[in-house]
Structure 1
Amino acid sequence: MLTATGNDPQKSPVILVADDDRFTRVMLRQLLEKEGYQVIEAENGEKCLAAYQQYQPDMVLLDALMPVMDGFICCQNLQTFTQTPEQKSDRALLGIPVLMITGLEDQKSIDSAFAAGAIDYVTKPLHVPVLLQRIRRLLAASWAEKALRRSEQQYRSVVENVKEVIFQIDPNGNWEFLSPAWTKLMGFTLEETLGTPFLECVHPDDCQLQKELWQSILTGANVGFQREIRYVTKTGATRWLEIHAHASQVTNGKFTGLSGILHDITERIYAAALEKEKIRLETEIIERQRSETMIRQALEKEKELGELKSHIITTISHEFRTPLTTIQSSSELLKLYDKKLTEDKKLKHFQKIGLCVEHITQLLNDVILIGQSEAGQMKFNPISLEVADLCHDLIEEFQSNLDPRYTLKVFIAESPIKGLFDEAMLRKSLNHLLSNAVKYSPKGGTITFQLGCHSDKVTVQIQDEGIGIPSIDQSRLFESFYRGSNISTIGGTGLGLAIVKKYVDLHGGQIQIESEVGIGTTVTVTLPINQ
């Protein structure tokens, strides 16, 4: 006979009572339900196994002597349901506690109960307080063991999925533990690495430093360290790793090893090198500016100064054209001879090279425009122009290439706004200011474009939610090659606003910039309709 009683099994422990004596089952059911447990009954060993598979109870109370299948054999069969291969070798790791109930008190019967897999036993006649205490104790132990397993599984999941390498080195300097991220980072399998000296993976040029750090831990001079060390991968490539290490627990005053994490910072190191090169180039530009100033002070005539500046700009232009030629040549060679890359990767390289060519060409054009302006050679060709139509065309083209992280709000006056303007200069100025709004809003946001007409003046206002401009920089925004102090990580030459200012001046207009760091920037351009 199989019966299940009690409430929702998720709210209280479920106990399976297997006993051929109906009176004992009824007595145990009433006793256990009074304590808040749910009870499932089985009258022999076979039905006990069936009930266990169906209800998955939290505990089994198992009579030793039953017909059809006795409690000893039933308990042995239960172990096949509750044990994993690892658990079979360790009695403490059983999944479901089995409490054997037996009227036999001889040592052989007791040994048989434990050999069958029982966690504990009680003898008949039952002593209720002892039985309840053992049930509570065994359930608590079972839950604690399950919680421990879940914690171990969670810890293993974290270790196996974390990107950084978690490591342990034994007192002899050999790898004792490595998380799976090691194989992805270095190419070596864990089997190839564990047990080998950790210094074998260190770059030869950094071995001495690594030895000194290791000795400082062994001698007790340091309890840990954080350093950037080069390691060599299985393919021979060099990777920069940031090592956070500390001495493992000392047992009886004896050093037991070193543990910590390895973080791949190769890309960061290379980025820092590129930033250093950028600073060098910017320094070179500043030095050229200083040289130009010294030459300007040495010249007595304005014409001679203009000719000299034109010569300098021409020289700079030629210096820019050399890398352009190199990039274009490399692109052709890559197309013709590089057979190691897939077609998709080749295409990406070609696109990158093409973008570099366009970018450097634009820089060259900006330098030439500044030179023409300061030499008084910039051509100004105003024509009768409908500004609203120009802005509509510009916005449509700009929005088609806009990153989806940005929202562009446009407000253009419905009435015609017609005046005398240089179309090319006006288009380039507005396009540059819109591009700046995107460029200096690296996290996205809303960009607002407004065009209005007031009396005899047309006003264009462009507002962003970007990084803003420090107040200390705002007085120098229109100087050639000057860049704000908070945009060192954002590319640029510092010529864009200088060129826009030249264009606005040629129109007889004004440009005003209002900005707050972390809030955004608003640029307002005011131009007379008829110059």
Structure 2
Amino acid sequence: MDIFIIADDDTSESLKNSIQKFGHRVVGRNVNITKALNLIDEIKPNIVIQSLSSIDENRWVELDKVIRTKGLSVLYIISRSQEEVLKKELPGKSVNYIIQPFSDEELNHAIEDSLSSSIIDETGYEIHLMEHLLNEVNFAFILTDKVGIISYINKSAIELLDIENKNSSLRGFLLQDVVNLLDETTENPIHLIFSSQNQPSDKTYGEAILLTHRGQKLNVLYTFKPLHNLAEEMIGFLLSFQDISPLKELFAILQRKNELLEARLTERTNNLLNQNILLEKEINQRLRFEKELEQALLKAKESNRFRSNIVSTLSHEFRTPLTTIQSSVDIIERLIGNSPENDKIHKHFLQIKKSIKTLSEMLNDVLEIEKADNQAELELSVIKPLDFFEELIDNYRLGIGSKHNIDFQHNALPMEIQTNPKLLSQIMSNLVSNACKYSEEHTTVRIIVLFKENELQIRVSDEGKGISNEDLPHIFETFYRSKSVENIPGSGLGLSIIKKAIDALHGEIKVKTSINKGTRFTIHLPL
């Protein structure tokens, strides 16, 4: 990381000695503000360290404005007595500072925090919002600033790179020092070009070999491209990559099986001429599977380029690569059959399917949240409530509630009501799904629908573990999950979606719970 120091000679020398201990480079220093700013324009450092001890307090605002205009990260060095003055002079701004005296380690942490906060300010709310999702997917994501210094790396990237310290953020490191991509044919290093004018000839996506920190070689699909803010200004780069080594291994297994199959077909053809028609059908089937597999791998490469846009948007088209992978797994699983020697492969298939299901459910929940937030006007239609609820109950008994006793009760319901059937179905499905998920199999999930004085009242109760008093105030918050259910899959969005749907219908929801006895949700919807 390149650093410029604005301070007197003694302070400047002391800071230089401390900074260089952590691998940073001091590219310039000057005590004169005007000369320093001119040098900064020429050198373009990553961060400026400014000592305020020799500057009048009435010039701080002017100096801060000039440095921020240049788009630089700034770390101020102040005394204890200057802290309140700094906050008063620069109110409402994200100011990074460190109070003298301080240790070398404290200075290094302050430098990394200053750079990190600058990157987050530029890229906006999207990066903060997406960090949760990025840590849940099986794709590696690394964000850098405009010169290639890492500002964010997700858990999958840490694991694929096989970094010894799994808790390391690697912020402040150069991307080239952390990621080593090799050409899959020549194994020559792939040089990622840090430029806003990247062209396709720069080979910013494709297959490559990833050399991990422990020397292991992995086959990966990667994408490298610039990121822009809403003003179309280039603010950094995104590198994403996915381990495709298991797919390569499966493809090799299929090739070997195809070779064996071809030899067996040739032998049968030579010995059993009367079965030529059946043999031709089997060969055509093999060729069709081979073609479908090739198309699936091609779609996986195309979808990888699309995934890089996840940092700036969540789109309905995000489901496309998931569907492609699911289809490919189904095709491969049918092709290799159920022989005992393939048990290990089927275990990998099961793990892939579970991951796809988890991510799909999370994306569906996020998109439902987005729909609820952006819904301008509620669309109502007429439904027959008894038919509507009986159809839902039948579906639950065959699907999400198949391992529970679904008890449905109701009073005299009106022939017709006016509501939004999609929102009502969504509310019911989420409540019943939660009731089944957080209660033991073969217990009772009770659904009661009552018509009372122009109001539809719905009660969904279970015999599960209940909700603690500590968790109860937070259950409708987005992404909130109780520590007591961390071992149960979920995104923390279900109840939030329910609350937004009920609000859209101008209703209300109440909760009554008892530990180890169960929970009852009661919904009141005006008609």
More relative contact order, 1 or 2 (CA 8 Å, 6+ apart): 2
With normalisation by structure 1, the TM-score equals 0.38
Q: Which is greater in Rg?
A: 1
